[in-house]
Chains A and B, each alone.
Chain A
Amino acid sequence: MNRTMKIAVAMVAMVGSLPALAGRFGTACQEDFQNGWQNTLPYSWNRCSGFNSELGQTDTQIFYWNLQGGKYWWEGTGDQYGLETVNIVFANTHGGAWGNNSVWAMWDQNQLAYSGNMYLGNESWGTMIFSTYSCETLKYDDGLMWTRMGPIFKGGLYVATGSMDLVWAGWTTDDVGADYADDLQHGVTIKESWHDGASDWYVDNDLAVMTTGTDSTNCWNRQNGMTWQNIAGYTRLRESAIGWYCYSGWHT
């Protein structure tokens, strides 16, 4: 067995393993965009660096990358060299949703990561939590949430956190990443960590959390019970083992 093969086998064995002692995390943020193809996203670096500083006190930071060339390591098999190398991803970029896809804007002009091309949880360390401070990517009011996000979850992802409509960017929301990480560190459920960390009571962030289960009860038990500390104790559900999806949303 050559060295590459040995590494590949070791990586496969790691999938679904506990984030023992310290979990692995990565952050992916973009503030400016090539040739201004998207609006500058104010304070994006602050959101990621705040997450890094806070979670880095107890866990292991694997990457802090911008989204130049990001499509490669978000989609397809390239994700094993990017998103899949950590247990939790926190990202901040512009987002959208239509038809069969949720999308995240990359730095590169006209480049989007499409949910239909993503499949998380099956390679390398196997992403467990995919958190994006981006508009619309967990849109559910058109009944197409599973159509859009199902391809990602089928790889074994446990939970996605994001927004079904709008999340606001400005200096008053620059500490979203730090607050989210702080709650995660202190054993608050992932669902409530997202709600508490990514919101205040003035700007009306529309926040959503999505999980899967074998059935409705299982899905809600997972969503209401999973924490950063206990998540690996839950069974990783892939493909046909997933019978149900469920979401929570906070709005006006």
Chain B
Amino acid sequence: MFRTTILSAALLMAGAAQANDFPIRASLAANARTQGVGRPDLPLLRVNAGAGADRRVDALMRKFEHSGEAVTTFGDARVQTDKLKTFATWADGRRLVAFGDGTKVSFRNPEELNDAAPASERLSNEQLEAIGRAFIQQQLSDFIKLGPGEQLVPFSTRVEVGGGNDVRSTERPLEQVMANAIVFTRTVDGVPVIGGGSKVALIVTNDGRVAGFDFDWAEYQPTGKRVKMLGAVQIDQRVKAMASVKLDSPEVTVKRYECGLFDPGLRRRDPQAAVQGACVVQSVEKRIADPVAHARNPADGHVTNATVDVIPVGETVVADSHWPQAMALGGGGAGGQRVMPASPGPRP
């Protein structure tokens, strides 16, 4: 009985690989809980600022201006700049946006993304990796640069589906694939970067053409410092102590538990802080909200709470003004307290 309980708790805490995860993400699901970041220490990395959103939009406009493919900046665009971004829009709905210092970019050609295919024709991970690698290599190599010891690796895929039905029908709708997406991440000396930073995503039509891309890709610069990482047991203790839900509660299921170098991405990064080791834990708790419905059917009557926590796992932690747990552990002065916006009142 004791052994079973221990095993069950471990499984609840482990997180699980999902069907469309690539090997690097599957290995995080398999190993992060028992091996932490998988290294005794990790480098502290600084993030180099980009050249600016306007310059990045200019460069991409030039790059794709003669393209006859789905990713094209051909034609007259309206270019605008506000305090957060520079964006170009075309009359047919295409849009190109560069944020902040230009290291975060998004392009879409929505007219190319309206053709559906049967669900069975979802592009495979292997097909998407080949399409994605070719596009990044041939079209985005000026923007997706790799430093020493860095690699671009496929991370996961996603799909857009569509369905619907006559409102008088009681049949389940036939679902179709509208678009496919592949996400790449960066590894640094074999350690994956987790979080929204260091990601390249390509939106791929059902016939295999890239019709959109997003990237959040800054250049990293070693600080020359390395930080000792906690062992798996100490990580587990810190994660449980700092997570916003009780992770070992029987009602909580850990969906993902991933450790590596954490980069939250341009919009959430403290530019003065460092990319450092962390674990990301995504957990779900269902609570009974309608006891009557639940009594009728134990599968019913719940509402769902899905929480993501990011916990630094270095023996020492560098303060990061945007990251509450790094502030709390890194002696950031604000005590790890978030800046609260004005909370709403009740309807008068």
Contacts and interface: CB of A to CB of B under 8 A. Distances in A.
Interface of A: 27-29, 31, 37-43, 45-46, 48-50, 63-66, 68-70, 72-73, 81-82, 94-96, 98-99, 103, 105, 110, 112, 135-136, 140, 142-143, 145-146, 150, 166-173, 175, 182, 186-189, 192, 195-196, 200-204, 212, 216, 219-220, 224, 242-252
Contacts of B291: 110
B172 A245 contact: no
B196 interface: yes
A248 B160 contact: yes
Contact of B161 (A49, A81, A95, A248): A248
A200 B104 CA distance: 12
A186 B78 CA distance: 12
Given A69-B347, A247-B164, A45 B303 contact: no
B306 A169 contact: yes
B314 to A, nearest CB: 19
Interface stretch (B36-44, B151-159, B222-230): B151-159
Contacts of B221: none
Say whether chain A's binding surface is mostly helix, strand, loop, or mixed: mixed
B148 interface: no
B173 A112 contact: no
Contact of A186 (B87, B156, B301, B322): B87
Given A186-B89, A202-B199, A70 B347 contact: yes
A185 B281 CA distance: 33
Interface stretch (B62-70, B136-144, B260-268): B260-268
Contacts of B300: 98-99
A246 B160 CA distance: 13
B338 A171 contact: yes
Nearest to A215: B166
A202 to B, nearest CB: 5
A103 B303 contact: yes
B112 interface: no
B235 interface: no
B140 to A, nearest CB: 15
Contact of B166 (A38, A189, A243): A243
B162 A246 contact: yes
B307 A42 contact: yes
B344 A99 contact: no
Given A45-B340, A66-B345, A110-B289, A170 B308 contact: yes
Nearest to B215: A201
A41 B344 contact: no
B171 interface: yes
A250 B345 CA distance: 33
Contacts of A41: 305
A250 B346 contact: no
B102 interface: no
B290 interface: yes
B167 A245 contact: yes
Interface in B307-348: 307-310, 322-324, 338, 340-347
A97 to B, nearest CB: 9
A38 B287 contact: yes
A204 B291 CA distance: 30
A63 B348 CA distance: 10
Contacts of B254: none
B244 A105 contact: no
Given A103-B303, A166-B284, A166-B304, A171 B341 contact: no
20 contacts: A38-B287, A38-B289, A38-B303, A45-B343, A46-B341, A65-B344, A96-B302, A98-B302, A135-B305, A171-B310, A172-B264, A186-B87, A192-B110, A195-B160, A196-B106, A204-B256, A220-B114, A224-B114, A244-B165, A252-B158
Contacts of A173: 308
Nearest to B197: A202
B311 to A, nearest CB: 11
A220 B164 CA distance: 9
Contact of B290 (A112, A172, A243): A112
**Residue from A143, A212, A243 whose CB has the most chain B CB atoms within 10 Å:** A143
A31 B343 contact: yes
Nearest to A144: B172
B149 interface: no
A98 B161 contact: no
B20 interface: yes
Contacts of B293: 98-99
Nearest to B166: A244
B209 interface: no
A251 B181 CA distance: 10
A112 B303 contact: yes
**Residue from A43, A168, A175 whose CB has the most chain B CB atoms within 10 Å:** A168
